[in-house]
Amino acid sequence: MLFGSPSPEVLVGIAVALVVGITFHEFSHALVADQLGDHRPRALGRVSLNPLRHLDPLGALFFLLAGFGWGSRFPSTRTRCEGDGGG
């Protein structure tokens, strides 16, 4: 770990904060894309607050081992958004 050996309570708190943070972050991406007209996130079930839809196993492992990581991505294209003009 980065800061010595934290107590189990601190580790649980960090894990919960990361799961909630990643879930809301990725949900927000999916919701905005859906509202702009790209409906693939909704078709893939990503407009959801279910953490299992947003957590990437490798990204979660990197969070634990290296202190950085990522959530699961979904394909989104600007040209699918209504009123964007693609440019």
| Torsion angle (degrees, nearest 10) of CA 31, 60, 16, 34 | 0
Q: What is the DSSP letter of 82?
A: T
Nearest partner of 3 among 21, 14, 58, judged by Cα: 14
pTM: 0.75
Q: What is the pLDDT of residue 3?
A: 60
Question: Using 50, 70 and 90 to split pLDDT, how confident is the model at 36?
Answer: confident
- Label residue 2 by pLDDT band (50, 70, 90): low
**Which tokens sit at 81?**
């958004």
Task: Name the active-site residue from 5, 6, 7, 26.
Answer: 26
> In the annotation, is 26 catalytic?
yes
Q: What is the mean pLDDT of the chain?
A: 82
The pLDDT, as a whole number, for residue 24 is 93
H/E stretch holding 12 reads helix 8-35
- Among the listed residues 43, 53, 45, 67, the one whose alpha carbon sits nearest the alpha carbon of residue 22: 53
Per-residue pLDDT, averaged over 63-69, amounts to 82
